[in-house]
Structure 1
Amino acid sequence: MAPNRAALIALTALAPVSWGTTYAVTTEFLPADRPLFTGLMRALPAGLLLLAMARVLPKGAWWWKAAVLGTLNIGAFFPLLFLSAYRLPGGLAAAVGSIAPLCVVGLSVLLLGQRPTARTLLAGLAAACGVSLVVLKAAGALDPLGVLAALASIASMSTGTVLTQRWGRPDGVGPLALTGWQLTAGGLLIAPLALLIEGAPPALDAPAIGGYLYLALVNTAVAYWLWFRGIGRLTATQVTFLGPLSPLTAAVIGWAALGEALTPWQLAGMALAFGATMAGQLAPAPRRKASRHCETTDRRPSVGPPARSGTADRDARPRHSSNPR
């Protein structure tokens, strides 16, 4: 793996590592049973901050594209995520979320025309099995609404991830602005729902204020900027295979900070999930093979397949042997 590509993957991986702290922060510091308000406080302040930093607004078709991506990645995903976090043990919600790589693989076939390799499918199954070994416990009854919310959140985020790669970015727009558009659009969608369904904002104590600041700045503004930056330079499947790092981080936090024990089965599951994550990064994509063939037989620079729109054309020409977008 090239050093530049390894650094890009490592930076992108910081996003799911940060998201692995969400369950602990939500359950330990935030007001109970306020998933919409929590989603709003996580999204809208971060989006407005990034918009102020980027100073770029959408143009033309990107108004509705940003609204669609903001709804899928933020506006629907956040409330569903927090609803599942409030109604399910963090481990069960994480186990449901571990199917995200397989979901993205399937959507990539439909929306991007990318055919998965057997290695990718096996890695996705291994990731789901590994995460399940880590987080699932025999005790506790299933909450049907919580399980449904977890499944819907994964479907929403997976679709948004694939569409983010399909649409790319408009000319002259970086991941900071694209992230700000989506967070703002999603936050504006959540705001009226939070007011209508949950009523006035709750009174906040110091731990809750600190928790919301952390979620908005570190867990959302920085993490989502790294995530969408990664999607712009790696494939959607590669980025999503970093997702299992989130429940693994949650398990480590539960062990280190909340006094939860780790069994040998959980340790084995952590090793399996981490190995699947690495396999998801190392598996070669067919398009990259074609690029190398062009380089060795025609002795032309590797340019990959034509991108679909905008700056995705520039992003499709990797600077450091990474897979084309």
Structure 2
Amino acid sequence: MKPADIFLATLVAVIWGLAFVASRLALDELPPTLMTTMRFAIAAVPCLFVRKPDVSWPLLIAISATLFLGQFLAQAFGIAHGVPVGLASVIVQSQALFTIAFAVIAFGEVPTRMQTVGIAVAAVGLLMICGTVGYDFSVGAFAVLMICPVSFAVGNLLLRRARDVPMFDLFAWLCLASAVPLLALTLIVDGPQPARHALLNMSPTGVISILVIGAVSTSVAYWLWGRLLRDHTAAQVVPFALLVPFVGAAASSMVFGERFGPLRLAGMIVVIVGIAIMLLSGRSRSVPKIA
């Protein structure tokens, strides 16, 4: 990779890590459904200027419902109900574990020996984290947050079917496909008047946070990430995502004073080590077809 591309990959990871802090700040003023709606409404603005990519509506909706709507709505609910930001950033990256596991089922991709070791290590880390649930956040909040990496993983696999399309256009329309049902959900769950009141009474911090989440973290960062994956192999690009939980945890510690107990910190480190083993161990091989 060129130095410029290495810089962009690192920049995207930093943006995504800081986005967890921005999400927490926005959730102090907006309910999870409204905050997620605003995130994708802002990121969908480019749809006014770009055409829908050559992807069928069923596939577009399926990718949007998993990669974006399911992932980020679960993330918002988990953080809003007490899951620490730093921990959330680690849990989200466990999507690598689920992506490899689901690829076995969907595409017959057999993990390599080292990937299997990575899955086992990451699973142990998640179990260690589970041992800390109930002290400063509920089991229910943790269960909702776990929807995030599972949904993320399914979206990753569905995204494979959207090939040879402009990445910026695709992600803009994915955001639109998420914003529309989220708006309906917001009106049902929160109500029109409370939602309007919350938006009109946002502080400058809340406004800046939601703009950063929508315009920078969702629109620009995903576009840059898609370009990097288009121009380089996944093995070169994806490992940069390992920086996200470190940035998220460090930023949360500085902004919110988040502290990690020995078991939770050890579990977070074990998860990241397991993910690193999976991402750096090479590509899965396909199951041989039976004649």
CA change 1:12–1:158 in 2 (3 A) is farther
Question: How many Å apart are 1:134 and its aligned residue?
Answer: 9.4
* Matching residue of 1:18: 15
* Matching residue of 1:184: 176
Aligned equivalents of 2:98 and 2:88: distance in 1? 16
CA change 1:227–1:135 in 2 (3 A) is farther
In the TM superposition, what are the counterparts of 1:191-230 in structure 2 within 5 Å? Answer: 191-200=183-192, 201=195, 202=198, 203-230=201-228
User: Is residue 169 from structure 1 mapped to residue 167 from structure 2 by the alignment?
Assistant: no
CA change 1:40–1:99 in 2 (3 A) is same
Letter in 2 for 1:181: W
In the TM superposition, what are the counterparts of 1:1-325 in structure 2 within 5 Å? Answer: 3-4=1-2, 11-12=8-9, 14-32=11-29, 34-49=31-46, 51-53=47-49, 55-59=50-54, 62-87=56-81, 88-127=83-122, 140-165=135-160, 167-170=161-164, 173-200=165-192, 201=195, 202=198, 203-232=201-230, 242-260=240-258, 276=274, 278-285=276-283
Question: How many Å apart are 1:222 and its aligned residue?
Answer: 1.4
Question: How many Å apart are 1:174 and its aligned residue?
Answer: 1.3
Letter in 2 for 1:216: G
CA change 1:77–1:272 in 2 (3 A) is closer
Aligned equivalents of 2:162 and 2:104: distance in 1? 17
* Matching residue of 1:302: none
Higher helix proportion (structure 1 or 2): 2
Letter in 2 for 1:24: V
Letter in 1 for 2:181: L
Letter in 2 for 1:122: V
CA change 1:269–1:156 in 2 (3 A) is closer
Check whether the contact 1:43–1:186 (CA below 8 A) recurs between aligned residues. Answer: yes
CA change 1:19–1:131 in 2 (3 A) is farther
- Bigger radius of gyration: 1
CA change 1:43–1:286 in 2 (3 A) is closer
Q: Which runs of 5+ in 1 are unaligned?
A: 289-325
- Show CA shifts across 1:213-260 (max 9, x none): 111111111122233345556677886665543322121113334444
Letter in 2 for 1:169: R
- Show CA shifts across 1:32-69 (max 9, x none): 461011101111211222x245x22144x522211111
Q: Aligned with 1:255: secondary structure?
A: helix
CA change 1:112–1:243 in 2 (3 A) is farther
Q: Aligned with 2:171: secondary structure?
A: helix
CA change 1:270–1:196 in 2 (3 A) is closer
CA change 1:231–1:64 in 2 (3 A) is farther
Aligned equivalents of 1:13 and 1:123: distance in 2? 23
Q: Aligned with 2:202: secondary structure?
A: coil
Q: Aligned with 1:21: secondary structure?
A: helix
Aligned equivalents of 1:197 and 1:276: distance in 2? 38
Query: Would you say how many aligned residue pairs link Structure 1 and Structure 2?
Result: 279
TM-score normalised per structure 2: 0.78
Q: Percent identity?
A: 23
Aligned equivalents of 1:197 and 1:25: distance in 2? 23
